[in-house]
Structure 1
Amino acid sequence: MHFNVIKLLFCGTTPLRNSQVLQVTRKDTSVVYKPNFRISCRLQYISKHSDNMVRLWCFLLASLSAVSAQFVPPYTEECRTGMYPPKGPTSKGAVTWYTIDLDLPPSERWKQIITDKKAELATMIQAIRDLANAFVPSGKLIDLVDKDLPFIVSTLPYPFNEEIKGIAAVSGVPLGEVVLFNIFYEVFTVCTSLVAEDSNGNLIHGRNLDFGLFMGWDIKNRSWLITEKLKPLVVSVDFQRGNKTVFKSTNFAGYVGMLTGMKPNAFTLTMNERFSLDGGYIGIVEWILGKRDGMWMSFLTRSVLENATSYEEAKVRLAQTKLLAPAYFILGGNQTGQGCVITRSRVLSLDVWEIDLKQGRWYVLETNYDHWDDPLFLDDRRTPAMKCMNQTMQSNISRKTVYDVLSTKPVLNKLTTYTTLMEVSIGKLESYIRDCPNPCMPW
């Protein structure tokens, strides 16, 4: 019988001799967490996974201080079929469309969206405040955010800095908290993305956007607090210049970067987080301290969507631009064979994994682990997703069947906020708010 064991000795402000031990064991397919804790002081581990993965998950488990110990079964199921058009308990409806006029001054571009979503944005920001105050009950953490984070805005590239200022002005949310809201997506996005080529050479791009990992577990409703607060903020946006579409995106109101987007008839693009010790936290700290030679991940994706004119140009920019955080860029084009996963460190491209029909690879699929490594056993969305893609077969691939794949647990999970389907050749981007009825994996 095989066990993976991770031990964290933690003490808060007490000496280690008074420390407690958290042990995470894997026996067959069951996982048990015990007990709750706050601050990790020292780390020991026994695992077959890389140091980086173990350290990452130890950090993430440390964020579970507000979550009761619980048994986490492997909530998987047979590949779903007939889920499209979206209906039933897993769909909460289509995402509302807005238009943003890029000819307007940046501070005015988001005015209509923020006016419509003002109450929802305030509710979400309050949930973040409550989480912060749970860790630092004095309220000093939020005071620090309100006092010190606004200075970052002036260091951000134009037009993003002015757009953030405009969002704060319209929403009434303190500028520092709007900055924090935007920073979150550099380090907390856990997703599934794929690009597939059908038998006629058309490219289909699909993604589940999973967000809110370990950010407040609601025991009663079995859901993530921040994930649920984000769902009402999801919007689809047609970015126009001169009354003509430049690109389309599905986004969160109040967030100026891009995680999911399409340049009609040219390319589609999604971004997934890549876990690494040299991760987004380090890049953000370096930026605050004055080292600003890297680009914010979501600002790069927006810049590429707005300015790149072809799949090849987008691929070069995504592969070569220095970043604040490591990432996976999943890119689809408008010609046969144009689909790839770009695996990025903060400094360079580590790999470009492309569709290759000669090798029988008619799709590429990425979650949050390097495709040449096994995913962590606690978070294997890749295996069921690939199983369903292979079962579907290239001859049957379409937006409908991709939606089926993305609706299969645990690809669909408690973190999933929305599903997007894109077909570049017809300029189609459609997004749907999701829900994962119990039983369902937390991630």
Structure 2
Amino acid sequence: MAELGDICKRCKKKVTTVTSRKDTFCENCFIRFIRGKQRKQMQDDKFKVKFKVKPDHTKLRVLLDFENNEESYVLLDSVISMLMEQSNQGPKAVLGFELIVSVINDSPDFQFDLAKLKNFYGIEELQKLGVSFIEIDCNSFVTDNKFEQLSLDIKKFQTLKIKDDIEDTNIKSYSELLHQAKDKTTREDFSIIVHEDITIKTAVDNKCSIILKSDSMTRMAVTILSDTIRGRGAEIPRHCDNKYIGTFEMMHPLSDILNSEIKTYIKILGIDKLSPSLSVENVNSNLSTKSKTVNDMISEYFQTLEIEYPETVSTVVKIGGKLSNNDENIANLHRCEICKFPIYHDPKQWLEQITVLDHVPPQNEEEKANYQRYLESINNDKEIESSNQTVDDTSVNLCYGCMVTLGVSEVNNLQWPQRPTREEILSEYILDDDE
């Protein structure tokens, strides 16, 4: 194995200063190594430079979901580099695609300086490459949607929706929407749902047919384990591979890049100067376990694991990629009222099937008395439930994952925006495209 300080075995010119995956690189070769992995994911002909185009040629429009984190900056830099290479292939070269960067402000700690980012690459250069930016405030998601009142009984896995629309909702901002839950993991869950809805709507509004997600291989592995823990196993396939929703494609160009490699890439090119958040190391490491989300704790686990055992991260992602759902009958499935994803198995029925229903009969007088009190409490609950039922309430479906996260936060009443499913949003895009 080559050591740091040796001549780089790739370019045979410069000294190696970077080590990754038990290999060494000079800085230039490491940058090419990372960009090569991104290019491999976007090597389809539709992304390539064109030299002969028909008069009615419509350029491919691609939306980059910029999350203002390290992965987003690396993906943006790599894709801009790809467009620069295409623009240098002669005066007749037509860029393979237009890049629209969607920047969603979904955090109170959001720090993003668009002017500094544009100056880093050059305003004229970005215009020449056809790169445009869209800044979105998540408060618009609250003001653009009507709300509904959900009443949850977590113990019985039952959710009722009050039929009367909420005209004067108490939810006035995105922050208030999230803080209906006291648990950070639940709030993070809400944020992910809203972020993806806004991203897809933005792609449709800007006539983009592809969304680039900035998830690195490490982050994908974190998401897979997090989904498993939070009861969202059915959603794992959409995080592991390029996913089609109708004719709409979601891609993960950084799916073969480790988080440690992301950090090295940023430092070499000086991208860490673009945002204060990029220069902060392990901001969650000093927090107590109770103050961390499930994602935070799993991320810390992989940070210590990927340096010595990077193949473990890859294995988790590969296993997740082998999971798949049968989407043939997806139109006939119920949808979760909160996350809008298909419910493949009724959560209450599933729990009852894996639960031992037969009980050991009471053996003594004390146990018999306790059993009798239990039966009386059940009857009392049924009487209360029947007296509280009104014709204005409608039973709705919640998936197991949403039930679990809401149960952890002890949310009994939730105001949640009414909105179409992602397939319904994209169906409008497909109709407009045909026209």
Fold similarity call, TM over 0.5: no
Structure (1/2) with the larger strand percentage: 1
Q: Which has the larger radius of gyration?
A: 2
Could you tell me the TM-score, scaled by structure 2's length? 0.24
Structure (1/2) with the larger helix percentage: 2
